[in-house]
Amino acid sequence: MKLIRYNSKQLEKIYNRRFPVTKRIIQRVSQILEDVRLLGDDAVIKYTRKFDGVKFTPKQLRVSEREISGAYQNISPNFVANLKVIIENIRRFYARSLRKSWRTKDSDGLILGELYEPLEKVGVYIPAGTAPLVSTVYMTALPARIAGVKKVVLVSPPDAHGFINPHILVVADLLKVDEIYKIGGAQAIGALAYGTKTVPRVDKIVGPGNVYVSEAKRQVFGYVDIDMIAGPTELVIIANRYSDPSFITADLRAQAEHAHGLAILITDSKTLAREIKTKTELNATVILTKNMIQAVEIANKIAPEHLEILIQNPRKLLKHIKNAGAIFLGPYSPTAVGDYVAGPSHVLPTCGTARFFSGLSVFDFVKSSHIISYSKKALEKIREPLEKVAGIEGLKEHLDSVKVRFK
């Protein structure tokens, strides 16, 4: 564990961290995507055999109803009951976020408004490399369902025997995911982005993944929408001399379960800094500051995925927090509750992108169309400024399209 001070040059490396992608990965992903675009199912099957060691026919790529039914036989009896509690928490949280279409009309007959519509098809990527991320199924598919998405397609890499973890299948089934495919990696992103004979093309791809998945999402952006580009997970803890060292140690250890994750403690207490440094043999960093306001300033520059404020009155600092994917207030709100049960999605911005990205929400699955309706009287009133701007831009036909309505 490293101990650095608020004025250390090492902070710049943390502030300017980047997604861990290399030129070789960029080129490799580009080739996989191009193969999938041109060859469809054949390329998906080729790369699934190469990377996952499983040989499928096109028909076998899709999880069958029989496989889904069989998954229920391989889970613990109380899993579904526990899952329903979590689902209700997520529903309650996102029900407050739904946007409604609106219109206004003035005395001249001018109507303006916005029409909100859910996306038609969304693809959800569920990692299953080091561990099957069961929680990511409900953290992605459920906000899409609440937003009103018509069709949800889930992809997840198969195990060595050609199966998807039964818990993933059960959650997907309970959330009424429409189609599930046993594919992963960049080839899965390509299949969702371009479509194949077997896998439908979607409008948006969401969900975390490894560096190849993240790079594939970056490269297909524009063909489809994406939620964000996810990097290694991050945790920043703000604490002072009154904070419980055992809580901090436990949370840093939990963060260390993720490969290549960022774990940072920011504190103005020398005693706490030394104690945590002594107790915790982890790949983590302690940043020692002059006071709590400086701690907040540093946290805002880091813009972490997860931010825990473990002081006695965390709301006092909350009003100064500008950049964080999710903020956990107080000693009894560990990051784990956000990862699994609280309600907000755990798909969050990383690598400092909390400066401009938000966590996954129902907003990600809705688009808007502007509504514009002018009466002749309303158009007459706005005609002069319209003609002035169009004239400056030299677009004569634009001018004529207005003038013709008054001949």
Give residue-wise pLDDT tens across range 239-253.
Answer: 999 999 999 999 999
Residues assigned a catalytic role: 305-306
pLDDT mean over 22-29: 97
Which CATH number belongs to the domain containing residue 10 in this structure? 3.40.50.1980
- With respect to residue 219, please indicate whether it lies within any of the assigned structural domains: yes
- With respect to residue 355, please indicate whether it lies within any of the assigned structural domains: no
Q: Does 210 lie in the same domain as 190?
A: yes
**How would you class 145 by CB atoms within 10 Å of its CB: exposed for 0-12, middle for 13-18, buried for 19 or more?**
buried
Q: Among 167, 199, 226, which residue terminates a domain?
A: 226
Q: Does 99 lie in the same domain as 219?
A: yes
pLDDT at position 274 over 80: yes
- With respect to residue 291, please indicate whether it lies within any of the assigned structural domains: yes
Q: What is the pLDDT of residues 157-212, one digit of tens each?
A: 999 999 999 999 999 999 999 999 999 999 999 999 999 999 999 999 999 999 99
Residues 6+ apart with CB under 8 A from 395: none
Nearest alpha carbon to residue 206 among 301, 126, 295, 97: 126
Q: Does 309 lie in the same domain as 246?
A: yes
Q: Does 179 lie in the same domain as 110?
A: yes
321 — phi, psi (to 5°)?
A: -80, 125
- With respect to residue 61, please indicate whether it lies within any of the assigned structural domains: yes
Q: Does 247 lie in the same domain as 220?
A: no
Average per-residue pLDDT for the chain? 95
pLDDT at res. 90: 96
pLDDT band at 54 (very low <50, low <70, confident <90, very high): very high
Give me the half-sphere count of Cα atoms (radius 13 Å) on the Cβ side of residue 325. 27
pLDDT band at 283 (very low <50, low <70, confident <90, very high): confident
- With respect to residue 374, please indicate whether it lies within any of the assigned structural domains: no
pLDDT mean over 38-58: 97
The answer to whether 192 and 155 are in contact (CB under 8 A) is: yes
- With respect to residue 375, please indicate whether it lies within any of the assigned structural domains: no
Q: Does 204 lie in the same domain as 124?
A: yes
pLDDT at res. 280: 67
Q: Which domain holds residue 389?
A: 381-406
Name the β-bridge partners of 308. Answer: 237, 328
| Gyration radius of the chain over CA positions | 25
Angle between helices 166-174 and 79-95 (to 10 degrees): 50
Q: Does 401 lie in the same domain as 332?
A: no
DSSP code of 352?
Answer: T
Give me the percent of the chain exceeding a pLDDT of 90. Answer: 90
Report the distance separating Cα 407 and Cα 405, nearest Å.
Answer: 6
pLDDT at res. 257: 86
Q: Among 209, 226, 243, which residue terminates a domain?
A: 226
Structure tokens at 105: 């009309």
Q: Among 178, 209, 226, which residue terminates a domain?
A: 226
The answer to whether 252 and 237 are in contact (CB under 8 A) is: yes
**How would you class 220 by CB atoms within 10 Å of its CB: exposed for 0-12, middle for 13-18, buried for 19 or more?**
buried
The answer to whether 354 and 305 are in contact (CB under 8 A) is: yes
Q: What is the pLDDT of residues 350-375, one digit of tens each?
A: 999 999 999 999 999 999 999 999 99
pLDDT at position 131 over 80: no
Q: Strand 179-181 vs strand 151-155: parallel, antiparallel, or unpaired?
A: parallel
Structure tokens at 136: 């990511």
- With respect to residue 80, please indicate whether it lies within any of the assigned structural domains: yes
Q: Does 197 lie in the same domain as 75?
A: yes
pTM above 0.85, yes or no: yes
Q: Does 81 lie in the same domain as 61?
A: yes
Beta strands in 14-130 (DSSP E): 102-105, 111-118, 121-125
- With respect to residue 302, please indicate whether it lies within any of the assigned structural domains: yes
Structure tokens at 249: 């140690």
Name the β-bridge partners of 263. Answer: 235
pLDDT at res. 278: 84
Structure tokens at 258: 């993720």
Q: Does 81 lie in the same domain as 169?
A: yes
Total number of domains constituting the chain: 3
pLDDT at position 337 over 90: yes
Q: Does 322 lie in the same domain as 182?
A: no
Q: What is the pLDDT of residues 101-130, one digit of tens each?
A: 999 999 999 999 999 999 999 999 999 876
Q: What is the DSSP string of 294-333?
A: HHHHHHHHH--SEEEE-SS-HHHHHTT----SEEEESTT-
Q: Does 150 lie in the same domain as 184?
A: yes
